[in-house]
Amino acid sequence: MSISLRFYNTLTREKTAFAPIDPQNVRMYVCGPTVYDYAHIGNARPAIVFDVLFRLLRHVYGEAHVTYARNITDVDDKINARALRDHPGLPLNEAIRLVTEKTETQYHEDIALLGNLEPTVEPRATDTIAEMIEIIEKLIGNGHAYVAKGEVLFDTKSMADYGQLSKRPLDEQQAGARIAVDAHKKNPSDFVLWKLSSHNEPGWESPWGRGRPGWHIECSAMSRRYLGEVFDIHGGGLDLIFPHHENEIAQSRCAHGTEVMANVWMHNGFVQVEGRKMSKSEGNFITIYDLLHTEKFGGRQWPGEVLRLAMLMTHYREPIDFSVKRLEEAERLLAKWPAAEASGATPCDTVINALADDLNTVAAVQALHALAQEAHGDPDALAVFAASAAFLGVLPEKTEVDEALASAVDALVALRLEMLKAKNFAEADKIRNELSDKGIQLKDGKDPATGERVTTWEVKR
């Protein structure tokens, strides 16, 4: 393997060479969406960042040798609330199903339009309840969890090195804890693994009664089921480091008795909108759907590849400011690139090497732009550009021209050729300019056999 990958690992706070546990099956887990509402632009970032990583791993280790699991969180109190609000007349289970199915379908549509491949597996929390119960039983059995007041709680003090990922030692957390300590918790940082459900909350039978899982346990269960007790990469947004990922690690390591849950932890930076934290109260809460299909952001719709390129123009660990200006910048860059079709050429090494260095998409996009500039008029270079752009998921699409327009243009091009033959240059130029105003570019050449002038045309992007 000539390409060596280096990634920044949140666990060690260092950028180190990546060596998979099993190169025949490189395994990555990324926390997916909670399906109760449209995905916002902050949800788009990890989907795009880890899609690029997935593509890179497939390129290096082979498509059949990478397993990417991204979950769907379909049990959550926010889902229950939405189900009750939107479908008050229906039995809760049915209402929940309507909310989660609709949101999941929408998420898939949005994410696909942003140029993302489907993950290898997309487990649902509600399909993994049995595994969650099994892990919780193990944790109770080995003294890392306890039952109190209808809840099963993880005993954070039972884990000597709890807090390694977020670098928040327990003592510090307790000293700084200002939230009221729930009386039934042994330690303020203990968290819920299982809680009892009332009759109007969704629930599953368990050794501790009909209840539902806490949020963190689902990822421990789904990752173990599809990737094993220890796997290569765990990803997600920076905001998930604490408590979510810290607690996933605590559960998995204490249940399985392992040194780590995943070897490499990768986190993407925050997303702001027009320089401010995105929130519904700020009025700058923007969904992927809004960007793609409405005129709510900047008074127009934005193509998926513009949104994707705008994301890739910032390194994944940096915060990103999502703004109209940034989208326009991405669009201008895309417009300079030739439309092409990926034809099986290999992506350029410069692009791959940039990504191999901790997913440096900024350098990769620069390399792609350089390729685009070289590619004009050179079919081999164009093929490499197209393969590289397709690899990053930002290949400009060939503009479809409808037949009526095409035959009208053909007729004008033929007329211009007649004018040129008749040496009526003024009229010929007039036709060329008229077509140019309509975005049609003419290219004159010579038929190598007859030496006669031939004119081709294309639609300018």
Pairing relation of β-strands 151-154 and 276-277? unpaired
Q: C-beta of 39: minimal distance to Zn ion in Å? A: 16
Residues in 375-394 that interact with Zn ion by CB under 5 A? none
Binding segment for Zn ion (CB under 5 A), chosen from 30-38, 168-176, 290-298, 386-394, is 30-38
Residues 118/70, Cβ–Cβ less than 8 Å: no
Binding segment for Zn ion (CB under 5 A), chosen from 54-62, 177-185, 219-227, 293-301, is 219-227
What distance lies between CA 83 and its chain's CA centroid? 26
Is 31 one of the binding residues for Zn ion (CB under 5 A)?
yes
Is 219 one of the binding residues for Zn ion (CB under 5 A)?
yes
Residues 25/67, Cβ–Cβ less than 8 Å: yes
Binding segment for Zn ion (CB under 5 A), chosen from 13-21, 27-35, 174-182, 410-418, is 27-35
Q: C-beta of 193: minimal distance to Zn ion in Å? A: 14
**At 73, is the secondary structure helix, strand, or coil?**
strand
Measured from the CB atom, is 261 or 386 closer to Zn ion?
261
Measured from the CB atom, is 33 or 303 closer to Zn ion?
33
Torsion sign across C-alpha atoms 316, 318, 320, 326: negative
Residues in 251-310 that interact with Zn ion by CB under 5 A? none
Measured from the CB atom, is 59 or 168 closer to Zn ion?
168
Binding segment for Zn ion (CB under 5 A), chosen from 24-32, 149-157, 261-269, 272-280, is 24-32
Measured from the CB atom, is 124 or 432 closer to Zn ion?
124
Query: Angle at which helices 361-375 and 304-312 pack, to 10 degrees?
Result: 120
Torsion sign across C-alpha atoms 383, 389, 390, 392: positive
Binding segment for Zn ion (CB under 5 A), chosen from 28-36, 38-46, 82-90, 379-387, is 28-36
d(CA 337, CA 279): 35
Binding segment for Zn ion (CB under 5 A), chosen from 26-34, 331-339, 351-359, 418-426, is 26-34
Pairing relation of β-strands 231-237 and 211-213? unpaired
Measured from the CB atom, is 151 or 248 closer to Zn ion?
248
Measured from the CB atom, is 267 or 416 closer to Zn ion?
267
d(CA 342, CA 339): 10
Q: What count of other Cβ atoms lies within 10 Å of the Cβ of residue 451? A: 7
Q: C-beta of 374: minimal distance to Zn ion in Å? A: 42
Q: C-beta of 337: minimal distance to Zn ion in Å? A: 36
Taking every pair of Cα atoms in the chain, the longest distance, rounded to a whole number of angstroms, is 97
Measured from the CB atom, is 253 or 326 closer to Zn ion?
253
Q: The tokens of 246 are what?
A: 């810290």
Residues in 154-213 that interact with Zn ion by CB under 5 A? none
Measured from the CB atom, is 73 or 103 closer to Zn ion?
73
Tell me which H or E stretch contains 388. helix 379-392
Measured from the CB atom, is 173 or 252 closer to Zn ion?
252
Q: C-beta of 237: minimal distance to Zn ion in Å? A: 10
Helix intervals (H) in 198-301 = 215-227, 246-256, 288-293
The position carrying tokens 């299909």 is 293
Q: C-beta of 241: minimal distance to Zn ion in Å? A: 11
* Binding footprint of Zn ion, residue count (CB under 5 A): 2
d(CA 100, CA 391): 31
142 Cβ contact list (under 8 Å, min separation 6):
254, 255
Is 69 one of the binding residues for Zn ion (CB under 5 A)?
no
**Contact residues for Zn ion, defined by CB under 5 A:** 31, 219
